[in-house]
Amino acid sequence: MNEIERVEENPPRRGISRGIYIIPSLFTIGNILCGFYAVINSLKGFQASHAEAARLFDNAARAIGYAVLLDGLDGRIARMTKTTSEFGVELDSIADVITFGVAPAVMAYTWGYGSTHGLGKLAWGISFFFLICGALRLARFNVMARAPRFSVPGNTPKLDKRYFVGLPIPPAAGLLAAVIHFVPQPLSSYDPDQLRVYSWALLAGMAILAVLMVSRVRYTSFKNVGSKSNKPFIILPLLSLLVAGIWFYSQWVLLVIALAYVSHGPLLKVWGLLGRFRPQSSRSEESASETSI
């Protein structure tokens, strides 16, 4: 194909058409801004007094929440306006690593186990483990999205738009942000015994989130929920209740939503495993009853 044919096939976009391509990228840039804001507030909170630190860590948690919203909007807007591009995909991945990888790793260290005596190397090691697992999760998702038939050793599941393979990194970061928003006081404000218990619990939680991200546990994508839904009279009232709940009881509602999403993947996995064994047990019972007759 010569240069003239390429130009005719992909004519340069002008005016509104060209501006539409910028809109999803602006949401992604806002995502990066939220992540950077969360990192700055976390570092300032690590050095501030307990009262001031609670406000700063709550600001950091709220920024991650806004970033989760922006991350969901940029992809939907790009698909609705048909402005998806390789540039947007790469920019979105970089934004997710910064906002949902680096920022939560820093938040967990500064708000949580970073001030616990005797956990120095393990503390930053778990934060780095969370970050690298999140990056690997994003890399695997990009490979599967671009080549659905691509297979690697280990029987990697095929790409299904209804599900995510492994816990997506935004909900993983969102759960930590929901916990900090629920209890913004840093763990260093507790007595030494409580500090050690809470720090070990946070270490275990971050490690579990990291493992879930690189696992093959399937999570619902909710991509079929949107403007094309055929049940608007059910979805719209539920969304209204959700918005009202977040507005008036953000600490409880966001924590419950984050916990429910993170836990529903393993629960569905266990339910599926139990379903596989049920037919076998029922068959054995039926055969036993037949032989007895």
- Residue 78, pLDDT > 90, answer no
Give me the mean pLDDT over the 156-178 stretch: 84
Which of 5-19, 48-62, 202-216, 229-243 shows the lowest mean pLDDT across its residues?
5-19
To the nearest whole number, what is the mean pLDDT of the chain?
82
Write down the pLDDT at residue 85: 76
Q: In which band, very low, low, confident or very high, does the pLDDT at 235 lie, cut at 50, 70 and 90?
A: confident
3-state secondary structure 203-233: HHHHHHHHHHHHCCCEEECCCCCCCCCCCHH
Query: Residue 192: is it exposed, middle or buried by C-beta count within 10 angstroms (0-12/13-18/19+)?
Result: exposed
Q: Supply the pLDDT for residue 283.
A: 46
Q: What is the pLDDT of residue 17?
A: 54
**pLDDT band at 79, cuts 50/70/90?**
confident
Return the pLDDT at 161.
72
Which of the listed ranges 20-29, 246-255, 266-275 does the model predict with the highest average pLDDT?
246-255
For residues 98 and 34, give the distance between their C-alpha atoms in angstroms, rounded to a whole number.
10
| 262-279 mean pLDDT | 82
* 3-class secondary-structure state, position 219: strand
Predicted confidence band of residue 131 (pLDDT cuts 50, 70, 90): very high
